[in-house]
Amino acid sequence: MPHPQIVASVLGADYSRLGGEVLDLVAAGVDRIQWDVMDGHFVPNLTFGADVIAACRSYTEVPFEAHLMVADPDAVLSDFVEAGCETIIVHVETCPHLHRTLSRIRELGARAGVAVNPASSLEFVPYVLEQLDHLLIMTVNPGFGGQDYIGAMEAKVSQARGLVRDSGRAIRIEVDGGISVDTAAAARTSGAELLVAGSALLTHPAGKRAAVEDLQRVLAESSPAP
């Protein structure tokens, strides 16, 4: 399995200096930046629009991914690709025509991902394997930062890893929610390759670099899934 990557969520960042927060996270050693896009409908909160992401794109060449927690992702796919997001992740719960949505993301030149809420199944996966680049397993319920990791989702991560392995396709398994030094190893062992961390990076008492180093150490010591 590929070397694990740390994806920084900026959901809990200082919004008055987002560009600087992105620079700080990249300097600390994160591999990617995730933008949690919320519309106040699919989830209660409102966060970033495409213009905000576009304004921060020039600060770094580190990959951006947009996690679209929105009720109608199809209407805004091109906006976030044009803003500079190399990966677009939609929720299976909001896509009645998932095959078409993923195909459209790829047509726009981005990598296509699907996020799955804790209570949702993976039954759809075999039917969209050819359109899929990322499979994100939510380890919290979406909409708020700082939630506790749901350990029961490790079984779903393992199931996702098995589906991807059996398909022979290069689909990345991502986990999002409650990732910290206390949970990262278990998520990695279950099959995660990309680990989204927010609060653990942004509130570490010794700063962002120490937070990234702590996560890297835990991940290096963990055993990856076969």
The reply to whether 120 sits in an annotated binding site is no
Q: Can you tell me the distance from the alpha carbon of 70 to that of 93, in angstroms, rounded to the nearest whole number?
A: 10
The residue annotated as part of the active site, out of 36, 79, 166, 214, is 36
State the chain's maximal CA–CA distance in angstroms.
45
- Which three-class secondary structure state does DSSP give residue 209? helix
The reply to whether 178 sits in an annotated binding site is yes
Strand positions, DSSP E, the chain: 5-9, 32-38, 64-69, 87-91, 111-116, 134-138, 172-176, 194-197
The reply to whether 64 sits in an annotated binding site is no
Query: Is 31 noted as a catalytic residue in this protein?
Result: no
The residue annotated as part of the active site, out of 14, 148, 176, 214, is 176
Rounded to the nearest 10 degrees, the angle between the axes of helix 18-28 and helix 208-221 is 40
The reply to whether 198 sits in an annotated binding site is yes
The reply to whether 20 sits in an annotated binding site is no
Query: Is 74 noted as a catalytic residue in this protein?
Result: no
The reply to whether 145 sits in an annotated binding site is yes
The reply to whether 146 sits in an annotated binding site is yes
Strands 172-176 and 194-197: what pairing?
A: parallel
Q: Could you give the dihedral angle defined by the CA atoms of residues 10, 12, 17 and 22, in that order, rounded to the nearest 10 degrees?
A: -20
The reply to whether 80 sits in an annotated binding site is no
Q: Can you tell me the distance from the alpha carbon of 52 to that of 42, in angstroms, rounded to the nearest whole number?
A: 20
Binding residues: 9, 36, 67, 143-146, 176, 178, 198-199
Residues annotated as catalytic are 36, 176
Binding residues for substrate: 9, 67, 143-146, 178, 198-199
Binding residues for a divalent metal cation: 36, 67, 176
